[in-house]
Amino acid sequence: MNMRTPEIMFQSNRQIDPPVTDTPQDALTDDTMDDPAEDNAQNSGRLMLCIKTPGMADMVSRALGQDDGVAVEAPHCSLAELADDAAFTVAHYDILVLDIAPDDHAEMQALHDLRARASDRTRFLAITPEALTLAVARLLMEAGIDEVRR
């Protein structure tokens, strides 16, 4: 017997109205609409990738960098080197994506150091080559990681 799942399509007659603003259209000038500093202040996200495999870091950087609202940096250095760099200011970034091994004490110490220098708005995301068990996730989250992925 051939069972087929019925396809359900939704159709709406509702029209979407354009956004309402207090500023008349003719009052908007080219200099206010095309100001990159204003755009960056409103839409910018700063992302730092610290991924051990340079090819992977470059690929992710290119993909995320296609979004005009995201500035991506991907230095070719270890997590420990990044934490030891006195010129590196963690608080300038919205998101840090870290390739981290929870059993590497130097990397875990670097994570603690970076977290201590971060602002409240900075989010730390970890990718790990290890099996993502509850114990590994808990260890990373206790060390300051906001989200863990394998």
> Per-residue pLDDT tens for 32-83?
444 444 443 444 689 999 988 877 788 887 887 787 888 888 888 889 999 9
Domain 45-149 has CATH 3.40.50.2300: yes
Between 12 and 125, the more confident residue is: 125
pLDDT tens profile 109-150: 999 999 999 999 999 999 887 788 999 899 999 999 999 987
Q: What pLDDT score was predicted for residue 44?
A: 60
Burial letters for 82-114: b for 16+ Cβ neighbours within 10 Å, e otherwise? bbeeeebebeebebbbbbbbbeeeebbebbebb
Q: Domain-by-domain residue ranges, the chain?
A: 45-149
Q: Is the pLDDT of residue 24 over 70?
A: no
